[in-house]
Structure 1
Amino acid sequence: MTVSAGTALRAEWTKIITLRTTWSVPLAGTLLGILASALVCALIGDVQELLVQDPSVGIHYGLTLFQTAFVCFGVLLLGQEFDSGSVLPALLAVPRRGLLYGSKLAVGAGYGLALGLLLSAGSFAAARATLDHPAGWTDPGVPRSLAAAALYPPLMIVFCLGVTAMLGNLTAAMGLLVPTLLVGTTLLGAVPGVRELVPFLPDRAGQYGIRYATDPDVPFPHWTGSLLLAVWAGAAAYGGLRRFRRYEG
């Protein structure tokens, strides 16, 4: 029996909306992220030196704080099937492994993009409502920053799903990605001889794409940061596809 791409996509979307914890975690992170950005901008956005120099730090504070939700979502999309063994019935239902894997990527990235747009626009609107001198939607650097912030969640989801596929294990993926992306890059920034490489890591590069101000220690422009995150996501997705095609359970 040949399964169409539309059928595979609908099946993956059904899995997401059926498992409440899967879709609710990134949604909760999005809503909490907007609230966090609003509170930061309202309380210290007009007086904290860093936020005055680069308002994007406060505007997208919630994205940085709650990016864990998107990391976990990317891992769970495939990792929970590895963990429960339900990946084998899924392969029986959709024998074309590339189609099954691609459907997971498409649905995860699509949901992530919807939440990314909500988080980016919602955080900016909240900042405009709370700051004394807010930036306009079309001010220099703002459209790029908003676009980069909207793309950050889906690209991070694709990256994490790809890494999970390469590892073939939920626990291993969570154990690697969560501490590495949330703490590891900060610690590496304090290591001599390594800190120069930190801006090229996926989370740091993507977050630099969101900023307004230029960092003299980062050897590339803002859009390159978002591009680097996209390259990381593409490489992880490709590596995950190769590994998933050889998966034996």
Structure 2
Amino acid sequence: MTARTVTAEPATARPSRAESTGAMTTAAAHVPVRSLTARTRTARALHAEWTKFATLRSQWTTPLIALALSVGGTAAVQAAYGTEDHSLIDDPSVGIFYGLNFGQVALACFGILLFGQEYASGTIRGSLAAVPDRARLYAAKLALGAGVGLLVGVLTTAGSFLASAHTENLGLGSPEALRAMVAGVLYHPLLIVICLGATAVLRNLTAAMGLITPTVFLGTPLLSAVPGVRELVQFLPDRAGQHALRYQPEAGFHFGHWTGLLVMALWAALATWAGLRSLRRHDA
């Protein structure tokens, strides 16, 4: 009987589960991941802020109230006093921007609401989760506030001049009138930026409303009547900004019109820096 010889073929080693998983992980690591660019992230942050502004009634109605108070207040005063009474006023800008005394309160409220409303409702956590880069979120809010303020400033200034055309000697071709127009437009976004930055520092809607709004509406006018304090009041942001609106230099001011606008811009820069610093240092 002949014995059969069986030749065994070498067995192919099957990869273990760990080796298979490691190979898949290595392969996945080489798959290119499409990351968002900084421009795309910024655009999305801006779009999110615009969506909040367009859908929250308290936000989009507040600038409209500011516009109505400013232009409506000026028109009411011009209609009530008439041409003869206004001839006694040396500076036409007093009547032109009279309504701004009321409209700026609503404007300040808008700047406060842009940040304060999120702290009050707790949605600031969701905003930071969607936009982890706090500087980008802050910049998006500033851009929205300044953009809306610029638009309101254009409409308010144009409306105030039109409402005063039949009673005031506007002198539209004069350098004083052109400067007042430019200052009137820029005053609005600067005030919003200041209020937004201050609210980011306070991180509380009630505190911001209780401190900023009375200061704008009552604090500066009352302090202007106090001897000894009057010299310092001219450097407050709203007072310095309103000085830039005037045709003629105001008594007691130690700087010119454009310098007044620069002082207000410096306040806006300071508030922006302080707000960003607070947002980065504190948890939501």
Q: The TM-score by the shorter chain falls in which range?
A: over 0.9
Unaligned ranges ≥5, structure 2: 1-34
Tell me which protein shows more helix as a share of its residues. 1
Partner residue, 2:262: 227
Distance in 2 separating the partners of 1:18 and 1:141: 40
Partner residue, 1:27: 64
1:193 equivalent among 228, 237, 244: 228
1:92-120 deviation line (CA, Å, top 9, x unaligned): 00000000000000001000100100000
2:49 pairs with 1:18: no
Unaligned ranges ≥5, structure 1: none
Distance in 2 separating the partners of 1:156 and 1:28: 16
Normalising by structure 2, report the TM-score.
Answer: 0.83
2:168 pairs with 1:120: no
Letter in 2 for 1:7: R
Structure showing greater Rg: 2
Letter in 1 for 2:238: D
Partner residue, 1:105: 142
CA displacement at 1:184 relative to structure 2: 1.0
**Structure 1 residues 103 and 51: alpha-carbon distance in aligned structure 2, compared to 1, 3 A threshold:** farther
Give the RMSD, CA atoms, in angstroms. 1.6
Matched residue SS, 1:141: helix
Residue 97 of structure 2 contacts residue 160 of structure 2 at CA under 8 Å; is this kept in 1? yes
Letter in 1 for 2:271: A
Residue 56 of structure 1 contacts residue 212 of structure 1 at CA under 8 Å; is this kept in 2? yes
CA displacement at 1:135 relative to structure 2: 1.7
Residue 70 of structure 2 contacts residue 102 of structure 2 at CA under 8 Å; is this kept in 1? yes
Matching of residues 86-165 of structure 1 within 5 Å: 86-128=123-165, 130-131=166-167, 134-165=169-200
Matched residue SS, 1:212: coil
Partner residue, 1:63: 100
1:11-64 deviation line (CA, Å, top 9, x unaligned): 101100100111111112202321221221232252336862111011111112
1:191-210 deviation line (CA, Å, top 9, x unaligned): 33221101110110011110
CA displacement at 1:73 relative to structure 2: 0.2
Bigger relative CO (Cα 8 Å, ≥ 6 apart):
1
Residue 45 of structure 1 contacts residue 51 of structure 1 at CA under 8 Å; is this kept in 2? no
Matched residue SS, 1:200: coil
Normalising by structure 1, report the TM-score.
Answer: 0.94
